[in-house]
Amino acid sequence: MRTVIRRLRSYVPEPQGPKMMTAVPGPQSVKLLKEIDQSQDTRACHFVTDMDNSSGNYLGDVDGNVYLDVFCQIASQPIGYNNPVLIEAAGTQLWRQMLVNRPALGNLPPKQWSKMLESFTSVAPAGCPQLFTAMCGTCANESAFKAAFMKYRRDKSGEPFTAEEQSSCMLNEAPGSPDLAILSFAGGFHGRLFGALSATRSKWIHKVHIPAFHWPVAPFPKLKYPLDNYANENQLEEKKCLDRVANIIKTWEKPVVGLIVEPIQAEGGDNHASPEFFRSLRQICYENNVTFIVDEVQTGVCATGTFWAHEQWELPIPPDIVTFSKKMQAAGFFHSPEFRPNQPYRNFNTWMGDPIRALQAQTIIKFIRDNNLQDQVKATGEYMMNNLHRLSEKYPISNVRGRGTFMAFDLTTPKIRDELMAKMRRSGVEIGGCGDRSIRLRPMLIFQESHADIFFSTLERAMKDLK
């Protein structure tokens, strides 16, 4: 029997709850993973999914198990598996055209492209009306770094490029290849490809044995929870980190051209800072002519209760660049006009994103608006936060934190955290971790109190088993 989420005007059919038929992974998953592993590494795989048996907030696997999904394809699934609105849109002639005839958007955009871009620009962050479309979150961040470097050199040396610049860059030497830096934070995650990896500081496994740029790292505030009980200590901690940022910018051996920061450090452990911290950080960048890049790859598209998490900072000076991906199902960055390159082909690639993903983003944004999902995330998030605090009084759950439904809590040790995730998965809840001992919650925007009740009842049973 199937039920529907009745608060949404566009119904999303889904099961009444999880259904577990086998161990996790089950025999069919094990079999298929062995087959996949002949060609591709499967050691990070949880199980093999069955999208024909997935709907709404529920993810099916090939063994007939059905999970309440609060990890959501690493925080990237926004409005439910097999959403009927997306399925209907995917059957249109425009989707078929873009799928069959994928264009090289930077050279040969289709006649519908300007209309397709309107959905992106309708949610553009304040101060960032321009758009660069890309393939993934890492691509977005690396392209943002390029935009910052190009603007810096244009402002310093002007135009046109000298003969020496043109020849020396082909040898990876100055002045054509200047020695410049991007500042990032300890615990930050900005991607696993070559350039972005030099700004990623979350886990050594991503970086070991990979050559890296000599770029600086600043401490990110380590706040104490509950925040209200440690206001003075946290304020001092944030000031210490801000002082360090200012010092690095002034004293680093090469010019610090850009600074990249996540509104919530996701992969690094769901680390938070106050709006005052980010306002001060923005001011430091402004005063030192450092490009301020906000990485909203994981926090963007309503997950924190506002469309962009950085809206909650109430910045007097907008960011220079805001990167996105994940729940947008498309990728790229918004930027202020001065970050448009001075010549064509400078920030460029063959596909410049994907028109199918742009159409998907268009449908997602409309669905969010039609169903008022931003307010729903706020209401569901408040309900979830209250329940997490309730459970933290009974079980060894600590450092409950979050905005909207973008939440996390800590367990006592990494081993206990991993055991709890395994128990939850065996009980029909797909879940993820971050940092050393944190569990992160990344439900879809259609997640409601009824789904939260299933999650918390499962969590409480699992916690009892751990005691």
List the catalytic residues: 189, 295, 326, 350
Q: Rounded to whole angstroms, how far apart are CA atoms 280 and 181?
A: 21
**271 burial level (CB within 10 Å; 0-12, 13-18, 19+):** buried
Q: Report yes or no: 143 and 347 within 8 Å, Cβ to Cβ.
A: yes
- Return left, alpha or beta for 201; rule: phi > 0 is left, psi -120 to 50 is alpha, else beta: alpha
Rounded to a whole number of angstroms, the distance between the first and last alpha carbons of the chain is 35
Q: Which helix (H) or strand (E) holds 251?
A: helix 231-251
Q: What is the DSSP letter of 430?
A: E
Q: Report yes or no: 291 and 285 within 8 Å, Cβ to Cβ.
A: yes
Query: Position of tokens 């200047």?
Result: 178
Can you tell me whether residue 43 is helix, strand or coil?
Answer: coil
Q: Report yes or no: 176 and 165 within 8 Å, Cβ to Cβ.
A: yes
Could you tell me the CA-to-CA distances from 174 to 79, 152, 169, 178 in Å, in that order? Answer: 48, 15, 7, 5
Instruction: Kindly provide the b/e burial profile for residues 227-252, where b requires at least 16 CB atoms within 10 angstroms of the residue's own CB.
Output: eeeeeeebeebbeebbeebbebbeee
* CA-derived radius of gyration, the chain: 23
Closest by CA to 133, choosing from 397, 306, 382, 335, is 335
Q: Report yes or no: 14 and 4 within 8 Å, Cβ to Cβ.
A: yes
Could you tell me the CA-to-CA distances from 76 to 65, 237, 331 in Å, in that order? Answer: 21, 32, 11
Can you tell me whether residue 351 is helix, strand or coil?
Answer: coil
Amino acid at 294: V
Max CA distance (Å), the chain: 72
DSSP result, 133-163: EESSHHHHHHHHHHHHHHHHHHHHH-SS--H
Paired strand residues for 133: 332
Paired strand residues for 66: 19, 60
